[in-house]
Amino acid sequence: MRVPVLTLAAVALLPTAARAGLYYSGEVVADLPSRWAGFLLDHRALRAAGAEPAKGTAPSPLRATYRAAAAALERTAATRPLTADEAADLGALYVRLGEPGKAVAVLRPAARAHPDHFRVAANLGTAWQAAGDPGPAAEALAEAVHLAPASHAAVERAHLSIVRSRLNEGRKADAPDDLFGVRYAGDDGKARAGGIAAAEMTKLPPTAAATAQALALALPADGRLLWQLAEIANAHGDVRTAAAILDGCVTEFGMAAPDLRARRRLYRAAADALAKSPDHDAHRGTLAVKSPRPLVRRFDVSALPPVKPDGPNPLPWGVIADTTVGARAVPTFPKHLERLDGKPVVLTGFVQPVGDAPEFSTFMLVEFPVGCWFCETPDPTGLVRVELAAGTRTGPRRGLVKVTGTLGLNRTDPEDYLVRVTAARLGEPE
């Protein structure tokens, strides 16, 4: 379902590469666009990584990973000058950690020492932008466009167009009521929040979602990019995602632009009406996604404790996701998962009932919530069948749960779940 959309300016008409704006060699981005649910999870994780944790709380796992990587490069810099690649990585890590000033301090001298290095120039532009200084950001990004390989040139031009547009706004550059690259136009041609005629929807290019997702991943704290994604989701017929994104713009980013709030009310009303419809094709939308999540996780099992026969052993979703399914649906499980087979494990996830019963002893566990099962079905490696201990039942749950039980791997039946946990108990996650 789609409600009247906004016209996207030329910035979104450009072809896109898989990533843009920020380049760190330790971070692999999947082909974009990603499924909206997976994208928003990783976008939120990147945003959390860039914020100092509250006093007395541990940093997010992603922030801890970035901090450790930055510390290693800082130790290297104390003993010798960093190479261009190392400086680009350290600058990117500082941006990820919400420290753009430090990133600029590393990348400016690196850009002078290595004037032909694309990643240094691109990361410097993003660091300046994150620091709230679009002037030098535009200068660095213009150089990045000049240096960009063919696969990245178009999306870097898009990034430069955004920064130049904001630079021209002057003091209004931080105001969310003047969204980059978007024109509001009603039938009378006047700027307003009412959207445009349905015939104008065809102007949205197929690359817009990938471009906007790539830039939003580079700058996850930029609410205006998130607003742009809401409009793109709606233009692809996914008003539920559009409403959810604009909810986040208001509740998580504190954006108060009247136009944004008007769009939010419009999308929320349409999404609520859609929730009452049994037509799941109307939920699905037209966006052709290329990946379930944008950040490719290379799970380091060396960080896990040795497998204990009496457990419970931690079972991260990243370990399950390393399973591959080949010809004739034959799975190949990672070695660590094989070692856990038949042993007690503990993992967290969200309860997905398999029927309508108010209580049940068997359910699916998924890594992240699924809004519409027909539209957002996880991959086989994103599902775990849970069978509760004898005599135990539960009901639908909205929040994250901890599951402790015995792991079983399915190697032979292509019609069954790849992974199941039996004799399971439910608890609250730490």
Fold classification of 7-186+197-275 is 1.25.40
Per mean pLDDT, which of 112-121, 216-225, 389-398 is the most reliable?
112-121
Answer whether 211's CB lies under 8 Å from 162's CB.
no
pLDDT (0 to 100) of residue 56: 73
Could you tell me if 116 and 146 are in contact, meaning their C-beta atoms sit under 8 angstroms apart?
no
Q: Which two tokens stand for residue 254?
A: 């504190």
Could you name the CATH architecture of 297-427?
A: Beta Barrel (2.40)
d(CA 343, CA 312): 8
- The Cα-based distances of 369 to 396, 420, 426 in angstroms read 12, 18, 17
Where does CATH 1.25.40.10 sit in the chain?
Answer: 7-186+197-275
Q: Coil, strand or helix: which one is 375? A: coil
Helix (H) or strand (E) holding 93: helix 84-96
Q: Which residues pair with 291 in a beta bridge?
A: 34
Q: Given this model, what pLDDT does residue 231 score?
A: 82
pLDDT bin (cut points 50, 70, 90) of residue 25 is very high
Position 305 scores a pLDDT of 87
How many whole angstroms separate alpha carbon 109 and alpha carbon 269? 51
Domain with CATH 2.40.50.870 in the chain: 297-427
Band of residue 170 on the pLDDT scale cut at 50, 70, 90: low
- Give residue 23's pLDDT: 96
pLDDT band at residue 194 under the 50/70/90 scheme: very low
Q: Which residue has the higher pLDDT, 84 or 200?
A: 84
Q: Is the pTM of this model over 0.95?
A: no
Asked whether the beta carbons of 11 and 161 are under 8 A apart, the reply is yes
| Structure-derived torsion over alpha carbons of residues 45, 50, 54, 58, reported in degrees to the nearest 10 | 60
pLDDT score for 94: 98
Helix, strand or coil, per DSSP, at residue 83: coil
